[in-house]
Amino acid sequence: MAALRLIYGLLLFATAAHAVEIRFVPPSAEGTISLGIYDNAGKLVRVLCDEWPIADFSAGLNGLSTEWDGKDSVGQPVAAGTYTARGFHMEDVAVDGEAFHFNGWITTEDAPRIVSVGAIGILAGGDLLLAARLAGDRGALLRYSPQNASPWVTLAAEPLSAAAQNVKLAVAGGRVFVLTGKKLRALDLATGKEVAGVELSDDPVDVAGREDCLAVLSGSGIKIYDATNLTGRSALSAPPVKPAAVAPLGTDDVVVAGEDGSLWHGAPEWQRLETPAASKVRALASGRGNTFWALEQSADGSVAVVQYSPEEGRLAEWVAASAGEPASLAAAVDADYFAAVFAGANTERTVAIRRNASNGWELLADKTITASDSFGLTGGKLSAATGDLPGEITVGLRENPLDPSAPRSLALAASVFAGGTGLVTSDGLPLVRVSEDPGFGRLAVVAGPTPGAAQFYQGDGACVEQYSVSNLGGITAFDAGAIEMEGGVEKTPPPVEDPEPFTP
């Protein structure tokens, strides 16, 4: 034990012997400090402090101090020569979040970073279920409450990561069923945990649920399962056309849409249902009572969500103006309430609509995502896919009362750095952290409406976040002196100073 204490003591002595003490006097006792080591050519070789509170430094008779181990940013001892410690004092610089652009789902910092919705479902009570692709090429199964102040619950991040865009959803028997490829998984709605699964022999086309009934559609026919235990109940033969979508109405009563857009009722014999001329059914969902909903696309490209009854035909419709291609449809079985996803070339729209007491339509959710991977600014205005990406501004600095020769202006750049994004000097010294969230690879900064202000933009493929940075004129530059290095150590260390409280 004594030998271990001796070795530990020698290591501490060796570390202390090679440490370079950096002393400086800040212009104020408030705020934060960023400090770097620069070589003789003015290149930043090591970031010592990034936005450290003044309380984090050691205080002595002649100011504040910190230590440098004589190494560069990759951990190698610096070459012999003269180095300079320089930094900036920030006081009262403020960062405020202003807006989220191009994604109606993202309205707060803690909202999931949805890039697109692959499939949608409606749960008892009206919550929406989303199989979504997230920023960073991840997937998740999300529960969204349209009328809740805290709307989001993540049910599961798996098994959707690999195929969040090629998934089918069904809700039945207190479970959510996820179909990817030939694998049908059942997840508990309360916990998101997988409780059952089955590998299907046929190539499945669609899956749909109603109460405790689950229908799996393939080219060879329809298999009906008990949703509570995935045991088989019955089977129906294939319809007279190549099938594309299914919706159960009862135990052996289903409707099927063909790839050609035709609509068929099987109970159990197949009968074609009448639809408008030149329209094509693209998706189906079970509805209240013996009704169902269909996504219909007309010859002119317009899309409508239509409520049908096998006996009474067309009951009601909601027309989606300029919505895009129909992608997914879901409906409630206890109310006239549906949700639909429409996909365009660069946009995606999801709506959730309920019939109200006056027999009109009530819009519960209307969320549009616009692709913003290539966002830019034109004339200072934000654009989803065009314009410049300005990455640097110049701000005036506060005069250093202790050093009138200190710089009075500074170029600041938008940058990704450890633990988030923010503003750095043109040579890379972090000064102002804007966000602590990872994943933002596209950044822009422009001067704000007043001196010392800036607008900062960052995008991760899901949306573009906008921040306001103010009081950049409250930054002060300072010089912490020159250091002669040789062999990885300081040639002439300053005299040892007793640590006593420092008050600038």
DSSP lists the bridge partners of residue 215 as 208, 224
449 with 484, same domain: the answer is no
156 with 237, same domain: the answer is yes
Decide which of 183 and 5 is more confident: 183
297 with 341, same domain: the answer is yes
> Average pLDDT, whole number, for the chain?
89
pLDDT at residue number 90 = 95
383 with 359, same domain: the answer is no
Distance CA(210)–CA(358), nearest Å, equals: 27
pLDDT at residue number 291 = 95
Domain endpoint, select from 370, 403, 419: 370
pLDDT at residue number 495 = 66
Task: Tell me, yes or no, whether 495 lies in a domain.
Answer: no
Place 307 in a pLDDT band, splitting at 50, 70 and 90: very high
| 74-78, 189-193, 273-277, 449-453, range with the lowest pLDDT | 189-193
382 with 352, same domain: the answer is no
137 with 31, same domain: the answer is no
Distance CA(391)–CA(398), nearest Å, equals: 23
259 with 378, same domain: the answer is no
pLDDT in tens, 29-84: 889 999 999 999 999 999 999 999 999 999 887 789 999 999 999 999 999 999 99
Write out the residue range of the structural domain in which residue 249 sits: 113-370
pLDDT at residue number 165 = 60
183 with 314, same domain: the answer is yes
| 64-68, 189-193, 411-415, 430-434, range with the lowest pLDDT | 189-193
What is the rounded average pLDDT of the residues 191-201? Answer: 87
C-alpha dist (Å) from residue 29 to 49, 492, 504: 16, 29, 6
DSSP lists the bridge partners of residue 325 as 343
HEC profile for 359-392?
A: CCEEEEEEEEEECCCCCEEECCEEECCCCECCCE
Q: Are strands 420-425 and 409-417 parallel, antiparallel or unpaired?
A: antiparallel
Sheet of 313-320, strand order: 280-286, 292-297, 303-309, 313-320
Residue of 176, 87, 93, 63 lying closest to 130 (CA atoms):
176
Alpha helices in 179-302 (DSSP H): none
> Over 50: is that where the pLDDT of 11 sits?
no
For residue 70, the one-letter residue type is: G
Count of structural domains, the chain: 3
**What is the DSSP code (8-state) at residue 18?**
H
pLDDT at residue number 499 = 52
Distance CA(477)–CA(396), nearest Å, equals: 11
CATH code (residue 233):
2.130.10.10
Query: Cβ distance 94 to 469 under 8 Å?
Result: yes
Number of neighbours of residue 215 by Cβ within 10 angstroms: 28
What is the rounded average pLDDT of the residues 437-455? Answer: 93
Angle (CA) 296-297-299 rounded to 5° is 140
Task: Tell me, yes or no, whether 345 lies in a domain.
Answer: yes
Place 14 in a pLDDT band, splitting at 50, 70 and 90: very low
> Over 90: is that where the pLDDT of 302 sits?
no
pLDDT at residue number 128 = 97
210 with 288, same domain: the answer is yes
